[in-house]
Amino acid sequence: MKDFIGVFDSGLGGISVLADLHRMMPQENLIYLGDSKNAPYGEKSKDEITQLSYKIVQDLIDEGAKAILIACNTATSAAIDTLRKSFSLPIIGMEPALKPALEQTPEGKILVLATGYTLTHGLYKKRLDELGNPDRVLSVPAPMLVRYVEQGIYQGEQIREYLKQIIPDTTDIRAVVLGCTHFLYLAKTIEDFFGWPVPLFNANTAVIRELKRQIELRQGSEGMVEIRNSHSQEMVELSQCMMQNYLKLVTD
């Protein structure tokens, strides 16, 4: 495939980003690499995540990528600086949508769900400091949710029990930031857990707009979308279903 944007995640989570990217920029050719063989990234060290991300980006560039979208908050947090220093093409990453959540939620607490890595490393900490309102933010690592989504589990008692365990008190929470791309598939489960349509924030639209600003857009017919997965062909098929389901959900 020529003239394409390379998109990657530790596994299946970034498929939601890929789907939004295809919806918002339908003429672009896209190649997605889900690294399910090495998921979850959130339980690895900075060096490990950087090495895995570097290899994926190098391969996508060797194949002719014109830009890279890191559809993973954890990989962005660990590796984006190294990747930008190493490669000269536009590299766009994800970070939890904390700013819009705080701006659009005048009172109460904001719950940020992400991997432990994202919540305890540079980018996120810097953002918390900049926004200057740490008391309003509850940062909760939710590593098991990544594992459930990788297994194709999006609802049910075990997720509910897990949410109860990591969020024992929901009283003051007025909004939730989905700070891991895997969690977008759990939107309905999280709403059901709260028992009311709690506003959920993610960074997809903002990140895709930024990417659009930085690249030369492809003209003409609808672009091609190719999904690959380091684990197995089964994961590719699951990813294709997830993309269709996600598109149905957001366009209905």
Q: Which is nearer to ligand DGL, 61 or 72 (CB)?
A: 72
Tell me how far apart the alpha carbons of residues 78 and 21 are, in angstroms, rounded to a whole number: 23
Is 241 part of the annotated catalytic residue set?
Answer: no
Distance separating alpha carbons of residues 250 and 228, to the nearest angstrom: 23
Report, in this order, helix, strand and coil percent for the chain, each rounded to 5: 55, 20, 30
The active-site residue out of 72, 78, 114, 167 is 72
From the list 50, 118, 202, 239, which residue makes contact with ligand DGL (rule: CB under 6 A)?
A: 118
Candidates 20-28, 35-43, 123-131, 200-208 — which segment interacts with ligand DGL by CB under 6 A?
35-43
Residues 4-23 that bind ligand DGL (CB under 6 A): 9-11, 13
Task: Identify the three-state secondary structure at position 3.
Answer: coil
CB of 42: closest distance to ligand DGL in angstroms?
3
Q: Which of 19, 142, 145, 180 is catalytic?
A: 180
To the nearest 10°, the Cα dihedral for 13, 15, 21, 27? 160
* Residue placing its CB nearer to ligand DGL in the complex, 118 or 229: 118
Beta strand 91-93 with 173-178 is unpaired
Kindly state whether residue 182 participates in binding ligand DGL, applying the rule CB under 6 A: yes
In sequence order, what E strands does the chain have? Answer: 4-9, 29-34, 65-70, 91-93, 109-114, 137-141, 173-178, 200-201, 225-229
Among 16, 181, 229, 239, which residue sits at the site for ligand DGL (rule: CB under 6 A)? 181
Q: Are 193 and 157 in contact (CB under 8 A)?
A: no
Contact between 200 and ligand DGL per CB under 6 A: no
For residue 195, the SS3 value is: coil
Choose the binding region for ligand DGL from 34-42, 155-163, 209-217, 232-240 (rule: CB under 6 A): 34-42
Q: Is residue 67 part of the contact set for ligand DGL (CB under 6 A)? A: no
Residues labelled catalytic = 72, 180
The residues of the shown chain that bind ligand DGL, judged by CB under 6 A, are 9-11, 13, 39-42, 72-74, 115, 118, 146, 180-182
